[in-house]
Amino acid sequence: MQENRPIPRKVFVITFDDAYENVYLNAFPILRQLELPATVFLATAYLDSPDPFPNDDWEEAGSGNVPYTAWKPLTTEECREMQKSGLVELAAHTHTHADFRGRPAELVADLRRCQRVLRDRFGVERASFAFPYGSKDDGFASGELSAAAEEAGLLCALTTEAQLVRPGDRPFDWGRFAPEEHDTAASLAAKLSGWYEAIGSLGHLILCRKSRRTAVRPCINPDSDTEREEAPSKTDL
C-alpha cells in the first residue's frame, strides 16, 4: 500500500488482538509449521500479568473451570520468541484497552505509552495499530479517533468492519474479517474473496429500499370482493 502497488488476489493478513497466551501456545506452532506471518496487537499494560484482561467479558475468565492459558495475557518473553521467529509482527492495541470514544486526546497519550513499551522491550520503532473493540456503529472507530492514531505516529489503523482493503483506501480506516466459531473453510473463503462484503452491502440496500415502502399493502379478502389492509409477511421482509 505504501508503494502504491496493486494488491495481489488471495492475499490476506492474520491478526490477533489483546493478546492471550493461547496465541503463543496454540496459534504460534501452526504459524511456524505453515510458515505464515501474522500480527499480534498488544494491549501493553497487561504484558506479564497473572490476571485476566479487565476488558475480558468472558464469564469464565479467571475461573478455575477453564485452563488459565485461555484467558491469561502474553508474557514479554513469549512475545520476544514469536518476534525472533521472523513470522510475528508485534503491534499496538493501545496501552490500557480503554474506551476512547469521544476522547481522541486521551487516545493519543495512551498510544504513545503503548509505543514506548513496544520500542523499549521489542525494538518496534513504528507500529501498526488496531482499535480496541473496533466497530464503527458503536463509535469505537471514528474519524476523530483515526486522526488521533495518525497524530500519534502509527503506521496504519484497523477497525473490525467487515470490509476488504483496496488500493487508495485511507490507511487509518482499514477493515478486517473476524473468523467465527461457526465459520467453515468455504465461509472464510467467501469473506476473503469479497462475497461477504458484497452480500452485506446488497442486504443493506434492500433494507433501505424496503423501509421506503408502505408498511401495509392491499389484499383481496377471499370471501368478498372488498380489499382489506394486510401486514407484510416474512417473505415480504
Share of the chain above pLDDT 70, in %: 83
Question: 122 and 227: one domain?
Answer: no
Residues 19-39: what's their mean pLDDT? 97
Spatial CA neighbour of 104 closest among 56, 157, 155: 157
Whether residues 136 and 233 share a domain: the answer is: no
For the whole model, what pTM was predicted?
0.82
What is the band of 230 on the pLDDT scale with cuts at 50, 70, 90?
very low
Q: Are residues 77 and 47 in the same domain?
A: yes
Q: What is the pLDDT of residue 216?
A: 40
149 with 198, same domain?
Answer: no
Residue 80 shares a structural domain with residue 174: yes
> Does 163 share its domain with 82?
yes
Q: Is 187 within the bounds of a domain?
A: yes
**pLDDT-derived band of residue 8, with 50, 70 and 90 as boundaries?**
confident
Angle, vertex CA 192, rays to CA 187 and CA 195, nearest 5:
70
Q: Buried (b) or exposed (e) across 189-217, using 16+ Cβ within 10 A? A: ebbbeeebbeeeeeeeeeeeeeeeeeeee
Nearest-CA neighbor of 108 among 174, 140, 153?
Answer: 153
Range of the domain at 93: 14-191
Clarify whether residues 201 and 236 are in a common domain.
yes
150 shares its domain with 43: yes
In a domain, 2, yes or no: no
**What would the grid cell of residue 230 be?**
394486510
- What's the pLDDT band for 6 if we cut at 50, 70, 90? confident
Is 113 within a domain? yes
Residues 71 and 40 in one domain: yes
Asked whether residue 9 is domain-assigned, the answer is no
Q: Is residue 4 part of a domain?
A: no
Range scoring the smallest mean pLDDT among 5-9, 80-84, 186-190: 5-9
Whether residue 140 is contained in a domain is answered as yes
pLDDT at 202: 56
Q: What is the band of 201 on the pLDDT scale with cuts at 50, 70, 90? A: low
In percent, the amount of the chain with pLDDT more than 90 equals: 66
Q: Are residues 112 and 134 in the same domain?
A: yes
78-82, 92-96, 101-105, 219-223: range with lowest mean pLDDT: 219-223
Q: Is residue 80 part of a domain?
A: yes
- Looking at residue 61, which CATH number applies to its domain? 3.20.20.370
What is the H or E stretch that residue 90 is in?
strand 88-92
The whole-number pLDDT of residue 192 equals 84
The answer for residues whose C-beta is within 8 angstroms of residue 74's C-beta and 6 or more apart is 19, 20, 21, 23, 24, 40, 42, 47
Look at residue 211 and tell me whether its pLDDT is greater than 60.
Answer: no
Q: Are residues 60 and 87 in the same domain?
A: yes
Least confident of 4-8, 79-83, 90-94, 101-105: 4-8
129-169 pLDDT, tens digit each: 999 999 999 999 999 999 999 999 999 999 999 888 888 88
In a domain, 116, yes or no: yes
Is 231 a residue whose pLDDT tops 60?
A: no
| Structural domains in the chain (count) | 2
Asked if 143 and 218 sit in the same domain, the reply is no
